[in-house]
Amino acid sequence: MTAMTSHLQPRECKLIKKESESFGFCLRLEKFKTGHLIRNVEKGSPAAKAGLRDGDRILRVNGVFVDKEDHGQVAELVRKSENSVVFLVLDENSYENAQKEGVSFEQLGKKVLAQNQPEHPPRGSPNGTPGLIPQPQFCYLVKKGNSYGFSLKSTEGQKGLFIIDLSPRGPAAKAGVRPNDRLIEVNGENVENDTHEEVVEKVRRSGDRVMFLLSSTETDQYYSRHKMQLKREMATLKFLPHKPRILELKKGKNGYGFYLRKEQNSKGHLIKDIDSGSPAAKGGLKDNDVLVAVNGDPVEALDHNAVVEKIRMCGEKTTLTVVDEETDTMYKMARLSPCLYHHAARVQPIRAAEVVMHCPEEEHQKPRLSKLIKGPNGFGFHLNAIQDVPGPFIKEVLH
């Protein structure tokens, strides 16, 4: 270690926010400056409480080295963290001086991580606050090119395989996978007792899509400490990219305007022949949607006549939970019912983590025109202002 690196003191900042909060900072690129900058840290915010300071440069996000990564990719990693995130940062003067000296920020970060052995805040906690039970999580990976962007390793004395060499730009990171996550299932099949070669082969056979069930270090430690058995039923679904749709329909003079068919290929109860201008069409039903629940009651196990009768008994209006083909395929890979997602969503609403981004002036971003139609709970976002930054900001956009 050189004299220069021995005096550098990167800081680990653990930010935990409630559902109703923002993290309280801006993530920026600025002209004539390098690195991903922290700006506009709001007084009393989770960022301020965690020790973030104006001008700090982010070296790592949840253990992933990001200093040389695209700014949008860094912001996406923060968004994926939902209500808790861990930053490794360096103050402005140290960063700029170290850069002039040619210091390797990646190696510097590795040394700090090895010394501190940090633990991420429980990512699976319902609102990211201390005292709540962390959860394992399902992650749906879609391959880009020839790789998912991670490697697997075994650790002596520990059960299962662990995620290493996670690429910040890779499909795994985009799906919510974190470094050192422990792999529990591949496509709904437990692999904790499989060899490295067996697991790799199962991932290979899955093709360009694969479903993982993962547990973080803090989740494993929590369940071990409390002598609790970790079960797949405890996993969070909020990182899955495709969601079931809940549609409220009011019967017209000619009914709801669709046919329900039970196909022989075991795809389930399919929506077919939607009449143009009908309540079904206006409500958002699409041809080949799979019906999974009526008024919140699962119907996947019911025969065709029982489902038709259930809809008829609803009278003049009904609420249908449906999935399109891709969402249906994703849940089948996990061997889960799509009904579980909306049960979890009713217990805990899901919000996107807030990151305010300022793009470099030379990129000349074009404005976007967005037409919004108000729903039963409003437009689904908040307007906010940041001290010393002109204009209002869109925050807390609901999924």
How remote is the C-alpha of 197 from its chain's centroid? 28
Token pair belonging to 374? 């108000």
Q: 21-57 in b/e burial notation, b at 16+ Cβ within 10 A?
A: bbbbbbbbbeeeeebbbbbbbbeebbbbebebeebbb
In order of 256, 257, 261, the CA distances from 283 in angstroms are 10, 11, 19
pLDDT of residue 392: 61
Residue 104: predicted pLDDT: 85
CA dihedral 334, 336, 338, 339 (to 10 degrees): -160
CA 342: distance to chain centroid?
16
- In angstroms, what CA-CA distances link 395 with 26, 40, 249, 354, 398? 12, 15, 31, 6, 9
Q: Return per-residue pLDDT of the chain as tens, 399 residues.
A: 455 555 778 898 999 888 778 899 998 888 888 899 999 999 999 999 999 999 999 998 877 788 888 887 788 778 877 778 889 999 999 999 888 888 888 877 665 555 554 344 444 443 333 345 788 999 999 998 889 999 999 888 788 899 999 988 899 999 999 999 999 999 999 999 999 999 999 999 999 999 999 999 888 888 888 788 888 888 888 889 999 999 999 998 888 999 998 876 667 899 999 999 999 999 999 999 999 989 888 888 788 888 899 898 888 899 999 999 999 999 999 998 887 765 555 444 333 333 444 444 434 445 677 767 767 666 776 665 444 444 566 755 665
Q: How far apart are CA 104 and CA 393, in angstroms?
A: 36
Question: Is-contact 251 278, C-beta < 8 A?
Answer: no
Place of tokens 């962007």: 149
Q: What is the pLDDT of residue 118?
A: 39
Q: How many CB atoms lie within 10 A of CB 201?
A: 13
Ramachandran region of residue 78, left (φ > 0), alpha (ψ -120 to 50) or beta?
alpha
Cα end-to-end distance, the chain, whole Å: 46
CA dist 233 and 226 (Å) reads 18
Q: What is the pLDDT of residue 135?
A: 87
* CA 56/CA 39 separation, integer angstroms: 8
| Alpha carbon distance 337, 297 (integer Å) | 12
Give this prediction's pTM.
Answer: 0.57
Rounded distance between C-alpha atoms, residue 8 and residue 104, angstroms:
12
> Whole-angstrom Cα distance, residue 178 to residue 185?
15
The pLDDT value recorded for residue 197 is 94
